[in-house]
Structure formats: C-alpha cells, structure tokens
Amino acid sequence: MSVMATTGRRWYAKPAGVIVSMVVPVAAVLLWWFASLDSTSPFFPSLQAILSAFQETWLFTRVGSDVVPSLGRMLAGYGIAVVVGVGLGILFGRFPLLHRAFNPALQFCRALPATALVPVSIVLMGIGTAPKVALIAFVTVFPVMLNTIDGVRAVDEVLEDVSRSFRLTRLQRVFHVQLPAAAPQIVSGMRIALSVSFVLMVVTELVAATDGIGYVTLQAQQSFQVPQMWAGMLLLGILGVLFNGAFVLLERRLLRWYSHD
Amino acid sequence: MLSVEHLKKSYPHSGGSLEVLRDISFTVEAGEFVTIVGPSGAGKTTLLRCLAGLLPRSGGSVTLTTSGRVVDSPPPEIACVFQDYSRSLMPWSKVGRNVEIPLKNKIRERGKRHEQVERALREVDLDGFADSYPWQLSGGMQQRVAIARALAYRPEFLIMDEPFASVDAQTRADLEDLILRVRHDAGLTIVLVTHDIDEAVYLGDRVVVMSGRPTTVVDTVTVDLPRPRSQIATKALPRFAELRTEVLKLITRDGAEVTA
C-alpha cells in the first residue's frame, strides 16, 4: 500500500535551471543595447530610444485607450470561441450523424484564411468592436471545436460502461465524464486558439480601426516614428509571453490528473 | 433472483456474424455467490455486459425475477465492478467523488450522500482516502475504490468482471477475502466472472463452467465448502482440490485452452 508523493516541479525548485534559461535573453538584450547604442539608422534605432518610446507610449498613456480595448476584444472573441467551441464540440462528438451533416460546411469555413475575412467582417459589421470580436471568435472556434470533438469521441469505453451502468443522466455524463475526459484535447485546442486570437487581435487593428495596439503600431510606422513601432513589437512580445505563462498555469490546474506522471 | 435463459449474442463481422454466446442459461438465487469460469476468449465479458444491460442481446432473456424486470438497459438493482480499475475510475475526480457521483440520482441530500460514501470507503478499509486521487493509490487500493463505488450504490446484485485480474497475487487474495466479507455484511448477491479456477471455487457457492466460443454452459458445480472461507484452511481441504479438479476437467473436456 503505497501512496505516492505528488511533487510538482516548480520553477523556483530549480534555481540553477532558471539561471541557465536567463543567460541567452540577458545576453541578447545586452548585445542589443550596446550594439545599437550609437545607431544612426532610422530603421534600427538604439534600444535606449526604443525603451524610452516604450515608456512614453505604453507606461501608461495608452493602456486605457489602446491596450485595454485590444485585450478586451481578444479575450471576448476568445471567450466566445471557447464556450461555443466546447459546446458544439460535445454536440458533434456525441451525435456523429449531426457532425456528418455539418462537417462539409464546417470544413469550408475553417479553410477560409482568417486574414481574408477581415474585409468581409468590415462589410458585414462595420469598423467598431463587433466585427473584430466576431472575427476572432469565428476563426478560433474551430481549433477548440475540432479538438473537443476528438476528445469527446475518445472517451474510454470502460468509462462509458461505468456511467451507463450507474445510470448517470446525459448531463451528468457530459459534466462528470465526457468534458473532463476530453479536457487534455480541449486545452490543446484552446492553446492554439489563444495564439491565433492574439494574431487576429493585431490583424483586425491594422484595417479600419481607431484604437488598439496594432493600430498604434501601424500609426507609428506610417508617421515614421520607428522607435514607437519597435516599442509596439516589444509590448506584443511581452504580452504574448504573459499569455502563454498564464495559460500554462491554467493548464496545470485543469490537467493535474493528466500530467501527474 | 436473476434468471438467464437461452441467452445468445452475435456480433456483425465482415459480412456475416460472429457468434460469441450460443446458449447460456443459469439462475442466481438471492444472496448467492455465483462464479462463472471459462477459458480465455469464451466471451465472459460479453456475457457480463449482457447481464448488466450494457449490451443488447441477440436472443434469449435476462430477468430480475423479484421485480419481473427484463434487463434491456442497466437496471438500478445492479452495480458493476470492471476488470481494469485504471480505466473504470475517473482520474480527474478524487476518490470520494468517484464513489459519490453514481449516488447523485439515488440520494438527493448531500449530507446523506457523503455519509454513504464514507461508510462504503470504510467497508473497503479506505477511510481517510476520500481526498486522494485514484492515481495516487496502488492498484489494489484503486480496485477497492471501484468496489466501494459499487457498494455505496446499494445494489441487490453485484456483477464483477475479472475484478482481480490486474493485481499481484497477495493483493488478489486480500481482495478476494474483502469481497467475501462485504458480501457477508451487506447480504449481496454476486456474479463474478474469472478465468482462474481456484478463485472460482474459493469464492463461489456455485461455479458455472462455460465452454470456449461459441459459448455454452458446460455444467454447474455446487461448491459445498464451509464458510467462512480462508485462503489457507479452505484451500488446504481435500474437497477444495476435488472441486478444483472437477471444474478443470469440465473445462479441458471441452477441449479449450486453460489459463488457470
């Protein structure tokens, strides 16, 4: 009778590893800093100039006016995609006939290049928040839905027997068995959807937008404020890393049972 | 009482059909412990899934005679313990939750439900493990969780499909005795399928011997060994050896491979 200890690996448990993984970024930044120090190129300003542009623009003048709307649209679209994608995924996963009926249409929609849909969304819904959120939701719903379908279909037949033999209701089977069993696939679909929604957040702000990180960055480029443009890249990179980190934390929480070994 | 009459099961198979169960008839009296033994590939799991209402029959009937209910879908009187505990427990739910979920429709009141969960865990000596995850436990403990889940359901019939096939010999003996004990305490009627002749004789009041596929009932052997049974004393009895040989002969006479 052994009860195994559950030791999760934490980032602070391995200080040596942390130090190793810091070497390259720190070296890159230092190299960038010193190599660009005397830069006279208008396209490659010094890191110093970029950082001061960053501070000027993003700390925190444009947070309320641009960062918040950007992230709000992205998270709204992403949230809709997750809810709708998981819901439809369960439905299609449990009713193969329904899936068969809708699959050609779904495949067609999924194949449409996201960027090509930007003008369509503008024609249909104008230039406000709605078309951007709708486009992000429309495109990112597919990875979530398709992964949910796969996950729900792959529920172990023994567990199906268990839930039938203990007479769980349809709804109980969804929430206690099918959803958690499909969680690993759902989460990996959500991960793809998150990075796609981040891309789309910027793309939707490059056309017919009046605010947002992408809009500000494009404006900077068009008005030859190159340091501001680079500062936009810096911000997007940082946000991307933060999103990824937050997602990893969520994933660990959701899938503790799955990744225990 | 559970009555199985001329049960047949065929699966569609590359154009034709694969006959798994040809003609199975036997009864299980209330309070009885019936073990079903047969060679590998005899369709034992198919039989149990038909008994539990998990698989539609191709012919014959399975009836719960007290309620007169024909088993066409899983009835509330039956709980199952499956062979592979690692697949039958929900790894995302804690032990207590695994036991509790099937009770949700039976016991609406939460407090009472938790009481029943705790009692069932106590019955299998797992008190204090409600907050562990199944995968934190050893194999034998996990199968005890599956047993507790079935016990908490308070069924009339407990149907077990080779429940001890995936654990080591010592754990297996412990689990056999655990089942004998809880059966005695709860007054359960049990149908247990195994390919292990010793286990079939040691546990059962009667042993139903099945042939290889397409499966029929070769014979039924009444086990007249005294209870309570003990791994050491019972298995040392000359009568145990005789019964064991009798069952073995029935299986080998049928010409099928024996895996005991």
Does residue A220 belong to any structural domain of this protein?
yes
Does residue A153 belong to any structural domain of this protein?
yes
- Contact residues, chain B to chain A, C-beta under 8 Å: 49, 52-54, 73-74, 76, 78-80, 82, 84, 87-88, 90-93, 101-102, 104-105, 132-133, 135-138, 140-141, 149, 153
pLDDT band at B169 (very low <50, low <70, confident <90, very high): confident
Distance from CA of B74 to the nearest CA of A (A): 5
pLDDT band at B230 (very low <50, low <70, confident <90, very high): confident
Which residues of chain A are within 8 Å of residue B141 when distances are taken between CB atoms? 1
What's the mean pLDDT when you consider all of chain B? Answer: 88
pLDDT band at B186 (very low <50, low <70, confident <90, very high): confident
Which residues of chain B are within 8 Å of residue A168 when distances are taken between CB atoms? 101-102, 104-105
Does residue A261 belong to any structural domain of this protein?
no
pLDDT band at A3 (very low <50, low <70, confident <90, very high): very low
Please judge whether B74 and A166 are an interchain contact, meaning their C-beta atoms are less than 8 angstroms apart: yes
Does residue A2 belong to any structural domain of this protein?
no
pLDDT band at B226 (very low <50, low <70, confident <90, very high): confident
Helix H or strand E segment including B86: helix B85-88
Please judge whether A161 and B49 are an interchain contact, meaning their C-beta atoms are less than 8 angstroms apart: yes
Specify the pLDDT at position B212: 85
What's the mean pLDDT when you consider all of chain A? Answer: 90
Average pLDDT, integer, range B225-244: 87
CATH numbers and ranges of domains, chain B: 2-77+156-253 (3.40.50.300), 91-154 (no CATH)
**Looking at residue A117, which CATH number applies to its domain?**
1.10.3720.10
Give the ipTM: 0.88
Does residue A195 belong to any structural domain of this protein?
yes
Specify the pLDDT at position A261: 54
In contact, B2 and B50? CB cutoff 8 Å: no
Please judge whether A165 and B79 are an interchain contact, meaning their C-beta atoms are less than 8 angstroms apart: yes
User: Which domain range does residue A219 map to?
Assistant: 48-254
In contact, B24 and B4? CB cutoff 8 Å: yes
Which residues of chain A are within 8 Å of residue B71 when distances are taken between CB atoms? none
Specify the pLDDT at position A194: 96
Please check whether residue A180 touches B, CB under 8 A: yes
Distance from CA of B145 to the nearest CA of A (A): 13
Distance from CA of B13 to the nearest CA of A (A): 20
**Pick from A168-172, A234-238, B163-167, B205-209: least confident:** B163-167
Distance from CA of A160 to the nearest CA of B (A): 9
Please judge whether B92 and A180 are an interchain contact, meaning their C-beta atoms are less than 8 angstroms apart: yes
Tokens of A80: 């809709």
Does residue A17 belong to any structural domain of this protein?
no
Which chain A residues in 38-67 lie under 8 Å from chain B, judged by CB atoms? none
Which residues of chain B are within 8 Å of residue A2 when distances are taken between CB atoms? 138
Tokens of B157: 């019939």
Average pLDDT, integer, range B1-5: 89
Specify the pLDDT at position A12: 57
B54-105 pLDDT, tens per residue? 999 988 889 888 888 888 889 988 999 998 888 999 999 999 999 999 999 8
Coil, strand, or helix at residue B107? coil
Please judge whether B101 and A257 are an interchain contact, meaning their C-beta atoms are less than 8 angstroms apart: no
Specify the pLDDT at position A10: 57
Is the per-residue pLDDT at A140 higher than 90?
yes
Instruction: Output the CA–CA distances (angstroms, integers) from residue A52 to A43, A64, A66, A129, A217, in the order listed.
Output: 16, 19, 18, 30, 15
Please judge whether A260 and B135 are an interchain contact, meaning their C-beta atoms are less than 8 angstroms apart: yes
Average pLDDT, integer, range A113-133: 91
Specify the pLDDT at position B159: 94
Please judge whether B74 and A165 are an interchain contact, meaning their C-beta atoms are less than 8 angstroms apart: yes
B106-160 pLDDT, tens per residue? 888 889 999 999 999 998 889 899 999 999 999 889 999 999 999 999 898 999 9
Give which of B168, B169, B177, B170 is closest to B147, Cα–Cα. Answer: B177
Is the per-residue pLDDT at A52 higher than 80?
yes
Backbone φ and ψ of B101, nearest 5°:
-55, -45
Amino acid at B185: D
Please judge whether A165 and B87 are an interchain contact, meaning their C-beta atoms are less than 8 angstroms apart: no
Alpha carbon distance B2, A218 (integer Å): 76
B111-136 burial: b if 16+ Cβ within 10 Å, else e: eebbebbbebbebbebeebbebbbbb
- How many other C-beta atoms lie within 10 A of the C-beta of residue A146? 21
Distance from CA of B83 to the nearest CA of A (A): 9
Is the per-residue pLDDT at B253 higher than 90?
no
Give which of B141, B186, B184, B169 is closest to B231, Cα–Cα. Answer: B169
Number of structural domains found in chain A: 1
Interface test with B, best of A3, A159, A162 (most B CBs within 10 A): A162
A182-196 pLDDT, tens per residue? 999 999 999 999 999
Rg (CA), chain B: 18
Please judge whether A260 and B133 are an interchain contact, meaning their C-beta atoms are less than 8 angstroms apart: yes
Please judge whether B74 and A172 are an interchain contact, meaning their C-beta atoms are less than 8 angstroms apart: no
Specify the pLDDT at position A16: 82
Does residue A235 belong to any structural domain of this protein?
yes
DSSP B230: -
Specify the pLDDT at position B142: 93
Size of interface A-B (CB pairs under 8 A): 73
